[in-house]
Amino acid sequence: TENKHANSGWNVISISNATIEGDVDLKNAEVPFFTILTNCYFGNAVFLNLAQFKSGVRFNNSTFAGETDFRYMSVGGAFEADGATFSRTDATTNFGHMRVAGAVLLNNAVFNGPVDFKAAEFAGFHADGVHFLRDSDFESMKVKGPTTFYASENHSAIFDGPARFYAMESESVIANAAQFNKGSDFELVDVKRHAMFDGTIFKEKARFYGGKIGANFQAINAVFGGPADFERMNVDGYALFRGTTF
């Protein structure tokens, strides 16, 4: 371990600037403390599937070089991985069926391989400035609060691989200025309030078939470079397409 600073107090475990070369295997573990692992380098696999963190977890600016598995993990507070890098290209970073009582923060994170959020449940989901280089799958993800893919100070949220939001539920979806460089599928999404795609670029097919929007659907100045499918979509408020290019 290099440049490690550890603080183990009554309510927090904190490690920063550590290099961890072996596997981290906490499957089924119960962790009662707020856990902070920032600016760390995980050289091999990280298995946190079925782990229970009673408080929050923070991996800000850390690098995961190996396989990363968060399936069925439960977190009593927030799950934070702002600025984290998931380097492996040949394995899926898996958040499937994860339960987080607080928000999930992935602002400016980079996913070099596929990522899976199927059937996960979060209080909020914030991935502003995120970069998905391959497939991203949000099928049946449920978010009690907002889901955001805002542009960060550095760049827009970028989806270089196919993005699939099939049957996702959220209070709102805000993806202003995001870039969907492959197909994007929002079939049967259920958004309780607004869905906002102002200035968003859809380079290939964008599909909103059967989606339900509880307030406004907004795509002002958006660009649809491929087919756009809004068949059977239901919008309770206004559908706004001013300055939109099809």
CA 197 – CA 167 distance, rounded (Å)? 18
Considering the chain, what is the average pLDDT of its residues? 95
Tracing tokens 């309780």 back to the chain, one arrives at: 192
| Nearest residue to 123 (alpha-carbon basis) of 105, 150, 136 | 105
Q: 150-160, pLDDT tens digit by residue?
A: 987 778 999 99
What is each CA distance from 32 to 5, 156, 170, 224, in whole angstroms?
20, 36, 29, 47
Mind listing the pLDDT tens digit for each residue in 184-206? 999 999 999 999 999 999 999 99
Query: d(Cα 167, Cα 118) in Å, to the nearest integer?
Result: 10
* Residues 34, 32: Cα–Cα separation, whole Å: 7
Q: Note whether 149 and 178 are within 8 A (CB).
A: yes
Q: Are 116 and 141 in contact (CB under 8 A)?
A: no
pLDDT tens-digit map of 104-129: 999 999 999 999 999 999 999 999 99
- What six digits make up the tokens of 238? 């206004």
The C-alpha atoms of residue 70 and residue 98 are separated, in whole angstroms, by: 7
**Length of the chain as a residue count:** 246
Give the pLDDT confidence score for residue 6 in this predicted structure. 43
**pLDDT value at residue 3:** 41
What is the pLDDT at residue 7?
Answer: 44
Summarize the confidence of residues 51-71 as an average pLDDT.
Answer: 97
- Residues 61 and 21: their CA atoms lie apart, in Å, by 17
Residues 16-41: tens digit of each pLDDT? 999 999 999 999 999 999 999 999 99
Nearest one of 55, 51, 20 to 35, comparing CA atoms: 55
